[in-house]
Amino acid sequence: MTTISTSAVPTNAECRTALADGRTLTITASRRPRANRADVKCTVPNAPAIADHMQQTVRLARHTEARLDSRDQVVLSMNITPAATERDWELAAVLADRMVRGLHPAKPGAITTAKGHSDAWHTGRVTGSIHTTAPQDALPYTAAPHTGVDAARAVGSTVNITHLAALSGHADPSAAVSTVRTWFPLHSGGINDTLGWVEVSVFPLEAPASAEEDTITAPGLDLTAQQEVKQTLTAARHFDGKGLNRWRSVVRFDQPRFQGGSYQLALVMADRLARGREFVPRGRIIATGCSSAWHAGRIDTVDGREPKLELIFNQVNTGDRVLLPKDWQDHLPPGFAAGLRQKGASLACIDKIGMI
């Protein structure tokens, strides 16, 4: 059996970036055994919000990595604090994370400087540049006129990138990311009620993951909500039979502040659509429902039936597919189903996923 040596993988790595005020920010990444800790930990002097943003950036940028190894924890830190509005340090954080895990090789003593950010890190898309100064060029250097040495050697090399796979000479990975949105009633009653969306993006893994929950990230949610999302998807994929340990997943909500679990059916449907396990509707999937047994595919009822039905009826469009708990079927308002059909939408009251 062939053993892959990990001696070339560093335990520490640095990447620099230039701030708008001219200061140089250094992001340091260190790697240590995870030991049941978080996969990524970030610290920024007196700026916990920026640290949270850096953690989300790094986790999302890992989305299109075809292999998943969750045995180590990566700790990232900034030596100075950038302005709250600055974002061009994001690429430096992503590179530092990849360098310390051996995914972006850097020669010992080389200096890497990066500037760039993205609104879609989970697709691998980025607008930025990376400058690398070779070790022998890190020292002050002046080329003598008669030597014929290219002056560019003194400043290293700069590469502009539009996607992270360009770092290794590969194709843009965004085409391999499958993303689906579904909608659910955000609140139960009230003049400002609306439909919120949940979006699931999946990327296939080359090798099976050891822990399903490590493959799922839900940026913007508090820890309790993140755990509920992970448990819901893990259980529903268990029922699926072909969903476990095969995907790296990102879950996003347009409104991360919500109460209750009535979004769960919409979440599960978005995941199944993204993985090709359901037929795509002409319009939107609008769903509400939860479950205490997703591993069995069961769908349970949720509270707020009347206001949620009124909200769905008022906001449904042509081509939309409405999915409700089976328990609601005998309690629908008179003319509700016929009214949806008249609007060009369809309705199903279901008690199990996979039978839609």
Q: Based on the domain organization, do 166 and 266 belong to the same domain?
A: no
217 has which bridge partners?
Answer: 250
- The answer to whether residues 189 and 287 belong to one domain is yes
What is the per-residue DSSP string for 265-286?
Answer: HHHHHHHHHHTT-SPPPSS-EE
Residue 191: predicted pLDDT: 64
Whether residue 294 sits in one domain with residue 189: yes
Q: Give the pLDDT of residue 135.
A: 67
Instruction: Verify that 103 and 218 share a domain, yes or no.
Output: no
The answer to whether residues 350 and 299 touch, using CB atoms and an 8 Å cutoff, is: yes
**Residue-wise burial string across 181-214, b where 16 or more C-beta atoms lie within 10 A, e elsewhere:** bbbbbbbbeeeebebbbbbbbbbebeeebeebeb
Whether residue 150 sits in one domain with residue 55: yes
Residue 306 domain flag: yes
Verify that 67 and 185 share a domain, yes or no.
no
Rounded Cα gap, residues 248 and 57, in angstroms:
15
What the block records as the tokens of 83 is 């302005």
Q: Is 28 left (phi over 0), alpha (psi -120 to 50) or beta?
A: beta
Report DSSP state, residue 39: S
In a domain, 3, yes or no: no
pLDDT score recorded for residue 7: 47
CATH code for the domain in which residue 54 is found = 3.30.230
The DSSP letter of residue 340 is H
Domain count, the chain: 2
Q: Are residues 160 and 267 in the same domain?
A: no
DSSP letter string, 146-177: TT---GGGGT-EEEEEEEGGGGGTPPPGGGG-
CA-CA distance, 276 to 170, in Å (whole number)?
A: 25
Instruction: Tell me, yes or no, whether 81 lies in a domain.
Output: yes
Tell me which of 107, 137, 171 is where a domain ends: 171
Q: Is 98 helix (H, G, I), strand (E, B) or coil?
A: helix
What pLDDT tens digit does each residue of the chain (356 aa) get? Answer: 333 344 468 899 999 999 999 999 999 999 999 998 999 999 999 999 999 999 999 999 999 998 888 889 999 999 999 999 999 999 999 999 999 999 988 778 889 999 999 999 999 999 999 999 876 544 444 433 433 333 334 457 899 999 999 988 888 989 899 999 999 998 755 566 789 999 999 999 988 888 888 899 998 898 899 999 999 999 999 998 777 889 999 999 988 777 789 999 999 999 999 999 988 889 999 999 999 999 999 999 999 899 999 999 999 999 999 999 999 999 999 999 999 999 999 999 999 998 55
Q: Is the domain of 137 the same as that of 217?
A: no
2 domain-assigned: no
Judge whether 129 lies within some domain.
Answer: yes
DSSP 8-state symbol, 224: H
The answer to whether position 161 is within a domain reads yes
Same domain, 100 and 216: no
Assigned domain for 247 exists: yes
- Indicate which CATH number applies to the domain containing 182: 3.30.230.10
Q: Is there a domain that residue 356 lies in?
A: no
Give me the pLDDT at residue 1, please.
Answer: 37
Domain boundary at 149, 171, 193, which? 171
pLDDT of 259 reads: 76
Give yes or no: residues 238 and 344 share one domain: yes
Residues 68 and 191 in one domain: no
Do 186 and 159 lie in a common domain?
no
Pick the last residue of a domain from 171, 198, 221: 171
Query: Which among 259, 268, 352, 257 is positioned nearest to 304, based on CA atoms?
Result: 259
Q: Which residue segment(s) compose the domain that 132 sits in?
A: 12-171
The pLDDT, as a whole number, for residue 238 is 92
